[in-house]
Structure 1
Amino acid sequence: MKPLGTVTRGTTNPNRLRRMDHWIAYACGDALRAAAEPLVVDLGFGASPVTAVELRQRLAAAVRPDVVVAGLEIDPARVAAAEPFARPPGLVFRRGGFELAGLRPVVVRAANVLRQYPEAEVAAAWRTMTAALAPGGTLVEGTCDELGRVATWVAADAAGPRTLTLSVRLADLDHPATIAERLPKALIHRNVPGENVHDLLAALGAAWDAAASPFGPRQRWVAAAGALRAAGRPVLDGPRRWRLGELTVGWAAVAPART
């Protein structure tokens, strides 16, 4: 099967995807523990396999030691360069794209891949990847800055997108408006008046401003998240996740208002 997609820039850094990885362990851990084949695909691992190696290490420690991570890349040279880092059966590398190389994973992590595609191609890529998931599987697709201190991702399944997560290193956060620069491709061009994601970020910014506190950014973020929930927005989880700099909302809260 010919890989679907195009070669991306492939840049990455160690620990760049740690926020997404920890969320996967939290949100998808039960599905992986229950799976007969606990397979995770790291789609588009880039010019270096370091983030695939880290994903395997984190999930093996936090979820189950026999988890299998398959790193996929369209560029055969990147696959060949990653081979010395393979540790079968737990960590393997293959050539593949949105079709997932014929695999049926419980989780797909597609980080900093679709941001390099036109927005019009995102929905089709989501459908292709989610159609290849194992029953009950999840696609985690998003982006982050170069050091992984600001990250966002969509969780989707065969029925479509379910949630959007914002995740930031609170010690470095100047204002939630910064997050807009790292929204997933499906939403980054929607951060304009009249769109749901613009409304959410504006409300988060206002709640952050109102929650100015002498106790530091963690307490301020938790207060802002709580204020959004109290105002009726579909903010998920609770203070335990919020203290990590996370905020997850139901997809309806950010879904594009117009096509």
Structure 2
Amino acid sequence: MSRGRAARPVGARTPDAARPVGEVTRGTTAPNRLRRADRWIAYRCGSALTDAAGPPLVVDLGFGAHPVTTVELAARLRAVRPDVRVVGLEIDPDRVAAAAPAAAPPQLTFGRGGFELAGLRPVLVRAFNVLRQYAESDVAAAWATMSTALAPGGLLVEGTCDEPGRVCSWVLLDAAGPVSLTLAGRLATLAGPAGGGPAVLAERLPKALIHRNVPGERVHALLRALDESWRAAAGYAPYGPRQRWLHTVSALRDGGWPVLDRPARWRLGELTVPWSAVAPAGG
């Protein structure tokens, strides 16, 4: 997967069917970097695993220079479905070879592949810190290429996060397109001196939205309303960042934003809204 723009359209097929679609990335990763997304995936996408007739197949696309986050994903999803099979895909064959010692066939394997998902038909795909590295104009084609490869009823979670995994965002998609946007952060990071409140979440919006954080766009309006609610909840700061965040999200919902999920999820530093609430204007 690419650190820069793809040399060809993301959705394009090449004459060589074995050649993955995409480009090699910088590949940085770290243990527990995707823990927030994994926790949400197990909660929100768990039914895609439990409803599968046989061992469900999950693809971790673009695992990077080290396979640690794929290993962690497999362990976390086994708590939902013990017979889950996870395949980590990378375009760079050297990374696939380096990941081989971490494999535990048949439940955890690694292979070469890109947005076409190596011809697999997974019920779930996690693609993190991949599309952020492409041009915004490439996003729709990449989403379509991945979604087309899903098994019936399959789901795609595409997002980004900072290096330690303290600030994240992701889009949930099904075969019909994007379903929701989730913003998630370590509450102590949001409340800390350098955190700047929920505004820090804007730095890690997915590629489809990061350039849309401007007046006139829905995601800009959401982030502005979230920041205003955070400031209004300053009186709860002495009770800790969790209480302040809970009142922030509650005020956002009371203000008319279609906040999804219950306070049990908000307590984890999450905020999920329907895609229609943040979809780019005119798109």
- Match for 1:245 among 262, 269, 275? 269
1:193 maps onto 2:211 in alignment = no
1:78 corresponds to which residue?
A: 95
Match of 1:162 among 172, 175, 179: 179
The code of the aligned residue for 2:202 comes to A
State the 1:80 CA deviation: 0.5
Q: Is the 8 A contact 2:48 2:155 kept in 1?
A: no
**Cα offset, 1:114, TM superposition:** 0.4
Query: Which runs of no fewer than 5 residues in structure 1 stay unpaired?
Result: none
Letter in 2 for 1:47: A
Tell me, in whole angstroms, the C-alpha distance in 2 between the residues paired with 1:124 and 1:91: 28
Matches within 5 A, 1:181-220: 181-212=203-234, 213=236, 214-220=238-244
- Normalised by the length of structure 2, the TM-score is 0.90
Q: How far does residue 166 in structure 1 lie from its aligned partner after superposition?
A: 0.4
Is 2:62 the counterpart of 1:44? yes
Matched, 1:232 2:249: no
Task: Tell whether 2:24 aligns with 1:7.
Answer: yes
Aligned-partner Cα distance in 1 for 2:85–2:233: 43
The answer as to whether partners of 2:199 and 2:227 remain within 8 angstroms in 1 is yes
Identity of aligned residues (%): 72
User: How far did 1:244 drift?
Assistant: 0.2
Equivalent in 28, 33, 53 of residue 50 of structure 2? 33
Which has the larger displacement, 34-43 or 93-102? 34-43
1:128 is matched with 145
Partner-residue secondary structure (3-state), 1:165 = strand
Runs of 4+ in 1 over 6 A off after TM superposition: none
1:17 aligns with 2:23: no
CA RMSD of aligned residues (A): 0.8
Does the CA-based 8 Å contact 2:128-2:158 persist in structure 1? yes
> Counterparts of 1:39 and 1:27 in 2: how far apart (Å)?
16
Q: Match of 2:201? A: 179
1:137 paired with 2:154, answer: yes
Partner AA of 2:60 in structure 1: D
| CA deviations over 1:90-145 (Å, ceiling 9, x no partner) | 10001000000111111100000001101100000000001111111111000000
Amino acid at match of 2:22: G
Of the structure 1 ranges 229-238 and 239-248, higher mean CA displacement relative to structure 2 is found in 229-238
Q: Which of the numbers 88, 96, 110 marks the counterpart of 2:127?
A: 110
Query: CA offsets per residue over residues 141-199 of structure 1, 9 Å max, x none?
Result: 00000000000000011111000000100011131000111000000000011111000
**Unaligned 5+ residue runs, structure 2?**
1-16
Aligned residues: 258
Secondary structure of 2:239's aligned partner:
coil
